[in-house]
Every structure is written in structure tokens, then in C-alpha cells.
Chain A
Amino acid sequence: MSSQEIPEERLPAEQDTAHGAVEVADDPFADPGLPAHRPRIQDIDERAAKRSERTVALMFTMSMLATVGFIASYVIFPVDKIVFIWPFGHVSALNFSLGLTLGLALFLIGTGAVHWARTLMSDVEVADDRHPIEAAPEVKAKVLADFAAGAQESALGRRKLIRNTMFGALALVPLSGVVLLRDLGPLPEKKLRKTLWAKGKQLVNMNTMEPLRPEDVVVGSLTFAMPEGLEEDAHDFQNQIAKAALMIVRIEPDDIKDKRQREWAHEGIVAFSKICTHVGCPISLYEQQTHHVLCPCHQSTFDLSDGARVIFGPAGHPLPQLRIGVNSEGNLEALGDFAEPVGPAFWERG
């Protein structure tokens, strides 16, 4: 094995290992120092350098053209023009051309600058010394002395009354800011426990906006309902529907496993809160055969034939059921509000 000679004096290296508690192994090989600079073709051949110069200039010129193209696109293409461009499909002509021309105009400046730096600017590596971050001992001593002098002159340590009252004042003053935040919103009180449902409120079909009749609800269908009197253009519609949204299915009474559920149903028509008890997404997927409903957000699954028990997923308790019946006009109506809060659980829920 013909080995390249390693000069003796480079083995082993000197290394400062004593640094307090730390013990580190020595370096076996000495630092050979910065390698010699290897010239690039542009450093020795002026023709190659000229070529690089032309390449950079070409990129900058093309960038200018791309900007002209951007302005032209802005003027030419109507905002609603859709074109087919393979392989992207149907795209907005304006968005496509503006993005492409702007992108090229920018990108070509970048490639030009980088190419210029890599081929024509000096690539000789230089070493710069580092300096310790921490101050020299005499600087530190001076600072400590200055601080001691300042502290002494303030008499903060001696005049405790001033010090303590100042700390007190500074500690109290931010309280005003905290107090000012009080009106960000109302207190929770019982707000999360009540919905718009009440005894005698009719169930309104969300699609037809007509009162629901028992015969409208067939086995295997999922119907969404909201309380009568809630209008879409009401100022608090979003807040109310966020709690009152209802999901209605019909199950053969014999298939209902939960006794209370059967009692709260009307001829097998059951009404459950549509708001998931996990973190509040609306539940929207229904399996006809199993009577399972699934929340599309986090996949909590509830069995509507068994008291909306959680059978899978992160929800912690069943969906609240709304007790329903039929009024004198033959429409479905609520027999009261939900017995428990709808939606996600919270500390005061109990």
C-alpha cells in the first residue's frame, strides 16, 4: 500500500482540551490549512468569461421581456377568461399569464445574479477571525463597577420604602389593561345550556323551509331541521343554528335499543343534535343500514339506534336527543329544549 506521506509534525494535533468539566478526545490529524484555490475556466480564459457575461446579460434581458409580457397580459386578458392549458386543465388565462410572466421576470433576475456570482466574481475563500462573544474581564469589571455606582447613587437598596412602593405601583398598573379586556365578550352564564328549542316549537325542514310532518320522514333518509321562527336573515341566525341544528331519521321502533330514546321518539322518528359532542363540527354522514352517523372532521361515529352512543372516534359522550311529538296540525314539534348542553363538553357542563 503506497501511502501518501503524512508529515510527522502533523501527528497528533495540538488541541486545547482542558475546559472545565469537559473532556474531549484529541484530533489525530493536524489541520493541513486551507486548500489552494483552483481557478475556474472564467479565471483563465477571457473568452469563457465573455460567454458568462453574455449569459448573465441574456437572463436579465429576458427578465425585462417577461415584465413587458406581464403588463401586456394585464391589459389583454379579461379577468373572467378561462382557457384550457395542458396539463393544468381549465385555468384563468389572466392568472396563468400574470403568474408565469412575473415568475419568469423574477426568476431570471435570480439566475442571472447567481450565475454572475458563481462564474465571474472571485471565488477565493477567505478566512476571517472570530472574536469571543463574551466581554474581556476588564470590560466586565468596568460594567459591574458602573452598575454598582449607579445603584449606589439611586439608593434603591437603602431606601426600601421607595423601592417597595415602586414595585407595587409597577405591578398594579397593568391591571388597568386587563380590566379593559372585560368587555371583549359576555360571561358564559347559562348560554351554552340553552338552545332555541322549546315546547311546541315546530321542526322546520332545512331544505323546503316547511314544517316537517311524520310522513315526510322515511326510513333510511337523513333530514335536517331547525326551529320554526328562525330566519336565515336574522342577526343571530349563525349563533342559533350553531346550537339548534337538528338531525332527524326514522328507525323501526323495534330496532331502537335504548328505552328512553324510544320514548322520546315519535313512531320511530328520532331527533338528535347535529353538532358533534367532540369539538362541534356538524355531523353529516349517515349509514342507512346501521344507523351510524359520522362526523367528517374527526370521524367520531355515533349509533343513532342506541341513544347516539359513541362507537368510534374521539367524541366523549352521546349526541343529545330532542324529545319530539306531533301537534294538532299533524306537524312534528319539540316537547322541550335539549335536556343537556349540545356540542363540545366544557368545565361547567357537569
Chain B
Amino acid sequence: MSTVTDTKRKAPAGERVADWADGRLGIYGLAKANMRKIFPDHWSFMLGEICLYSFIIIILTGVYLTLFFHPSMNEVVYHGSYEPMQGIRMSEAYASTLDISFDVRGGLLVRQIHHWAAVIFLAGMFVHMFRVFFTGAYRKPREINWLFGFLLFVLGMFTGFTGYSLPDDLLSGTGVRFTQGAILSMPIVGTYISMFLFGGEFPGTDIIARFYSIHILLLPGIMLGLVVGHLILVFFHKHTQFAGPGKTNKNVVGMPLLPVYMAKAGGFFFLVFGFISIVAAIASINPIWALGPYRPDQVSTGAQPDWYMGFAEGFVRVMPGWEINLWGHTLVLGVLIPLVLFGVILAALALYPFLESWITGDKREHHILDKPRNAPTRTALGVAWVTIYFVMLIGGGNDIWATHFHLSLNAISWFVRIAFFLGPVLAFIVTRRICLGLQRRDKEKVLHGRESGTIKRLPHGEFVEIHEPLGPEQLYALTAHEQYKPLEIGPTVDKNGVERKPSALQKLRARLSRSYYGEGNQIAKPTAEEYKEITSGHGHH
């Protein structure tokens, strides 16, 4: 690619390096499309960034930790610098974690940054995922990116679990035992999977080394690929934006990558890293030295997994202990049902975008985000899901609730059992009502203006509050959302008098469509006529 510029001009060093690279990598082509790429601005768009940066922090600190950690279950007698553990038998994994915490300078800090970043990574993904859910950002063309993100969340859970199990301490060993017990409950294959995973009977001498390769290689390798794919798609699709003046489905309004987002996003990485470092300096996490090495016949009270596993823990705790013994076999429903529910409830979240697009029949691209209130049924379903999640978190920490709030364990379990069924229904109804109420308020604002807080006394003594009309920008922003009309099955007899039987699936789809967009399930936007009639001015407030 020769340019027409003066060839005698001596190019600056930076340009010569770029030329060299361009000749081999074609970087100018890439930069042309991306260097001044526009990103819209909204506080909620940085949630995904928190996940990305904590993921990078986890990788950086994780590599450091591998330099000192010994993933071995060989038994050693401890003679390190932590006095209370002197002479105690433990695995090399546990001993090397003590060394990282007490003998390697800065090792404890890196360990704590690693663990805090993992906790924040999962929390960030959870919140980011629900930002995407409640704004409908998963709609076409972004369904695959939704699945990428979902997989990252699920894999993140298992990477976290295998990670906090590595120190082979009493708490995490108990969690591994629980996992083994859950695996045993699987019909037919349970005992085989358990034997193959643990290299024999529990706990065996292999599991730490196997978790290690899963934790540092297999899962993060897949996750790194998914993260890269996730980001490539964000660039390729261009970011979504909220409705507003000048923002359409055909453009993206914001500021360029170079320099604004380079500085803001780059700076935000340092903010996240700095924040986590400070947290790791002042708040201890997973103090394995206080727990002791793992022994299958010992346990501590108040055993809790990391927060993101509490949801699964809740199912296991509140499920009645059903066992069916037939023909010499045992179906361990008390453990199997929680295991299945855990998968089903997560899968429901993954598949929701496809269900919604089937109901709407919408094949268009969507780049303008919905305000949650403008999609009441979706928002209510999302809140119902989150309700189940948090009810189960309560169930997962039932002992903590019992001891901290002096409640009966029995009562908490029954509360969780009932709330699992009732909670989401209540949450659904309440959320939808709130959404519709907010829609009505938006309509009111459009038609009658904003409450100014100024009270005026009319000559005949009546007091009225002055409403200020909205500007054209606000009027547009409040009415730019789309409202679907519910799907009709159409006449069951066509014009030639031939009867047409709609299939059960078509009927279901029409019914769902009505429940999403039918009368009473969304508040019709104000029309131009309504607005004109009211604002033509007859002292109407």
C-alpha cells in the first residue's frame, strides 16, 4: 500500500514501526475500523468491564500463585513459620498454601487479591447479565453473545469451586465431599464417575492435582476463548444504547475509543485493580490457616461455600430426603432433584432470549435498549428468577441466618420451601404492577408535563400545582419505545369457508403473546392526537 505522500519525507519512528507491522499484519485496516470506534456512555455499561478486568487480575495473580503452590496430596508434617500448625500432618497443597500466606512476602496479598477478584468477577457477571436481561440487550443480533456470557458465568462458578478447593483445607474439603456425595446420587453412573474423578475412593490422593489442571488450564482456557469471542462480538455488533434524541436503531452515539474510552476504560482497569488490592489489604478472605488441614472425619460448623455456590447449596439443604428403593437400586431423589433443578433453572436463563423471540416473532435487529418498565412481563420474569436465586441463597446459609438472627432452622427451611414456589409468583405480580405503574407515570408526564413543585392559587381560591411541559427531547425519549401488538391466531374459518385448525403450539404462542402484550399487560403509549388535544390548552392539568 504505497501512499501519494512525499516519499522523501522521513517518517517519524512510530510511523515506521507501524508501517513495518502493517506490512506484515495489516494493522492499518484494523485500526481504520476500530481506532475511533464509537461507544455509548451509560453507567451500567461498565459492569461488563468490571468482569473483564477482574478476570485479567485473576489470571495475573493466578500465574504468580502457581509459582509457589504445590498441587499435591502427599502428606507432610508442617515445620513452617506459622506456629499453631507446627508438627501437624497435612497435604503438601495445604502446607504450600500456608507458605504462600506466611513465608512468601506479598504472597498473602496476591492470594487475597486472587480470591477477592474471583468473588467480584462472579458478582460482576451476575449483575452484568441482569443488566443485559432487563434492558433486552440479548435480542437479535446478540443472542449468541448472551450464551457466551452465560457460559462464562457457569464456567466461572466451577472455576471458582475448583480454585477454592485447592488449598485442601477443612472447609473446602468438606465442599468437595459434598460434591462427591452429589455425584453418587446420579443414577447408574454416579459411583463410576466418583471413582474416575477421585481416582478411587474418596478422598484418594489425586483430586487436588486433577482440580489443579482443571482450575488453571482447562476452564480458564475455555473462558479466555469465550471472553475474546464475547469482546469481538461486542465490537462487531457495536454497543447497544438507550433511546434518546438522535439515537436510532441505525446509529451508535457516544465518544470515540481513542482517546476517550482508551483513557476511561484503561483507567477503569486500574481503578478495579486498585480497589481489589485495597480490599485485599484490609479484609481477609478464606483464612485457611484458621481452618486446619482436611480430614474426612472432621468438620467445622458454619460451613459455607463461596457466595455463587450458595444457590446450589440452598437446594440441597431444603430438599426433603426422598429416597426410592426398588429392585435392589436406590434413586436418591433428595440429592438428585436439587442437582437437576440447579441445571434447569440456570438453563432457563440461557434459553429465555429464544423463547421471547419465538413469542414476538420479531426477526429485526435491536440496538436500542428497553427500559425495564417498558417490557413488564420480561422484567417480571427476570425478577421472579432473581427471587428464586436469592431465596435459595437464604436456604444455602440457613445455619448462618439461624445463629445470627436467632431463628429456628426448621422455620427457615420451611420458609425457603414455600418461598421457592410462592416467591417467584409474588415477585412476578408485584414487578409487573410496578412496571405498569411506571408506564402510566411516563404517559402522564408526556401528556401533562412534569410536576414543578410550584403551587399556584387561582383567583377563585383553588390551589393547583403547575406542571411544566417536557421538552421535545424528553418527549421523544419517553415515547420512543416499541410496543408490540399481541399475536392473533386469525379466523379459524378462511374466506372459502374451509375450517383451519390452529395447532396447539400456535395457540400457546398466541396466548403467551397476549400475556406479554395484550390489553392490561402494557400501557398504550400516548398518541400524537392525545397530546395535541391536551396541549391545545384549556386549562387542563
Q: B-contacting residues of A (Cβ < 8 Å)?
A: 1-4, 6, 10-12, 19-35, 74, 79-80, 88, 91-92, 94-100, 102-114, 116-118, 121-130, 132-133, 181, 184-188, 191-192, 206, 224, 226, 232-233, 238-239, 241-243, 245, 274-275, 278-282, 284-285, 296-300, 310, 312-317, 343-350
| B interface residues, tally (CB under 8 Å) | 142
Interface string of B123-143 (1 = CB under 8 A from A): 000000000000000000100
Q: Would A95 and B109 be within 8 Å (CB), given that A28-B479, A103-B278, A129-B251 are in contact?
A: yes
- 20 of the cross-chain contacts (CB-CB < 8 Å) are A10-B472, A29-B531, A35-B246, A99-B280, A100-B282, A102-B277, A106-B277, A110-B273, A114-B263, A128-B37, A241-B295, A313-B317, A314-B318, A314-B319, A314-B320, A344-B184, A345-B332, A347-B186, A348-B330, A350-B325
Stretch from B150-158, B187-195, B348-356 that touches the partner = B187-195
- What's the dominant secondary structure at chain B's contact region? mixed
Residue pair A123, B319 in contact (C-beta under 8 Å): no
Residue pair A106, B274 in contact (C-beta under 8 Å): yes
Write out the residue numbers on chain B whose beta carbons fall within 8 Å of the beta carbon of A298: 178, 316-317
Q: Which residue on A lies nearest to B449, using beta carbons? A: A1
**Distance to closest chain B CB from A348 (angstroms):** 6
Residue pair A99, B303 in contact (C-beta under 8 Å): no
Q: Is B182 an interface residue (CB 8 A)?
A: yes
Write out the residue numbers on chain A whose beta carbons fall within 8 Å of the beta carbon of B323: 316-317, 345
Contact for A184 among B182, B196, B279, B530, CB less than 8 A: B196
Q: Is B483 an interface residue (CB 8 A)?
A: yes
Contact for A103 among B275, B301, B475, CB less than 8 A: B275
Interface string of B180-212 (1 = CB under 8 A from A): 111011111111101111111111101000000
Write out the residue numbers on chain B whose beta carbons fall within 8 Å of the beta carbon of A297: 174, 178, 299, 303
Q: Would A130 and B476 be within 8 Å (CB), given that A34-B246, A239-B200, A349-B330 are in contact?
A: no
Write out the residue numbers on chain B whose beta carbons fall within 8 Å of the beta carbon of A299: 317, 398-399, 409, 413
Residue pair A181, B196 in contact (C-beta under 8 Å): yes
**Distance to closest chain B CB from A56 (angstroms):** 10
Q: Would A121 and B301 be within 8 Å (CB), given that A19-B364, A80-B102, A99-B109 are in contact?
A: no
Q: Is B375 an interface residue (CB 8 A)?
A: no
Write out the residue numbers on chain B whose beta carbons fall within 8 Å of the beta carbon of A129: 250-251
- What's the dominant secondary structure at chain A's contact region? loop
Write out the residue numbers on chain B whose beta carbons fall within 8 Å of the beta carbon of A224: 297
Q: Is B371 an interface residue (CB 8 A)?
A: no
Write out the residue numbers on chain B whose beta carbons fall within 8 Å of the beta carbon of A280: 177-178, 180-181, 202, 296
Residue pair B485, A103 in contact (C-beta under 8 Å): no
Residue pair A128, B251 in contact (C-beta under 8 Å): yes
Residue pair A11, B528 in contact (C-beta under 8 Å): yes
Write out the residue numbers on chain A whose beta carbons fall within 8 Å of the beta carbon of B38: 126-128
**Distance to closest chain A CB from B150 (angstroms):** 20
Q: Which residue on B lies nearest to A126, using beta carbons? A: B38
Q: Is B237 an interface residue (CB 8 A)?
A: yes
Q: A-contacting residues of B (Cβ < 8 Å)?
A: 37-38, 75, 81, 89, 102-106, 108-109, 112-113, 141, 174, 177-178, 180-182, 184-192, 194-204, 206, 236-238, 245-246, 248-256, 259-260, 263-264, 266-282, 295-303, 316-323, 325, 328-332, 334-335, 360-365, 367, 398-399, 409-410, 413, 449, 467, 469, 471-473, 475-476, 479-480, 482-485, 487, 524-528, 530-532, 535, 537, 539-541
Residue pair A344, B106 in contact (C-beta under 8 Å): no
Q: Give complex CA distance A66, B191 in Å.
A: 55
Residue pair A130, B250 in contact (C-beta under 8 Å): yes
Write out the residue numbers on chain A whose beta carbons fall within 8 Å of the beta carbon of B296: 238, 241-242, 245, 275, 280, 282
